[in-house]
Amino acid sequence: MKPEFYSRPVLEVARDLIGCVVSHGPTSGVIVEAEAYHDSEPACHAFVGLTQRTQVLFGPPGRAYVYRSYGIHALLNAVCEPEGVGAAVLIRALEPLRGVELMRARRGADRLEDLCSGPGKLTQALAIELEHNGVDLRRGPIRISSRPAAWRDVRVAVSKRIGITKAADLPWRFTASGSRFVSGLRAKAGRTPGAPTAVTPEK
């Protein structure tokens, strides 16, 4: 993924991340759900401005913003837009790709659909922690790579973000249409302008 991929508007990046692959060590998964956040709206951490916590959000695009949610789970975000703009895409769910048995051991779960079907689940499955905040998503150790051949024509559905109370009406949640690996409520069938039809992913 070239740096230019992340320097675009966050809504474009969020949509285009569906079908891309997140890797960390021997584990990886295909992104099937993502949400966009921007400093212009109150659900985004960057809405309060530049602070010690949000400085990564305002930094170079293509970095990981990892934070602790409710003091329990580390959540993975990809920083977007030009430096100085606070924006990121929350990676909400993955379809497991590599290292499934290791994911099962880390999660204490067996069912494939339960391993990465939530932002806290996927970081536990891939062993992503706060120490990874600010890392370059091209150089690693966490990497996001382009869509595999079987995912290049994935159909993308759009819906409202979930699990938030502020700016909850914005349709900034993107999912692989029909995926059984998404978190929470599934988006209604639909497609973003120009989004192609889904295909079956490779295992």
Mean predicted confidence (pLDDT) in 171-199:
65
Q: What is the pTM of this model?
A: 0.89
- Over 70: is that where the pLDDT of 187 sits? no
Domain boundaries of the chain, sorted by first residue: 3-148
- The CATH classification number of 3-148 equals 3.10.300.10
Q: What is the pLDDT of residues 30-71, one digit of tens each?
A: 999 999 999 999 999 999 999 988 999 999 999 999 999 866
DSSP annotation string for 152-180:
TT--EEEE---S-STTTTS--EEEETT-T
Instruction: Give pLDDT, residue 186.
Output: 53
Instruction: Give pLDDT, residue 21.
Output: 98
Instruction: Give pLDDT, residue 2.
Output: 85
Q: 101: exposed, middle or buried (C-beta count within 10 Å: 0-12, 13-18, 19+)? A: exposed
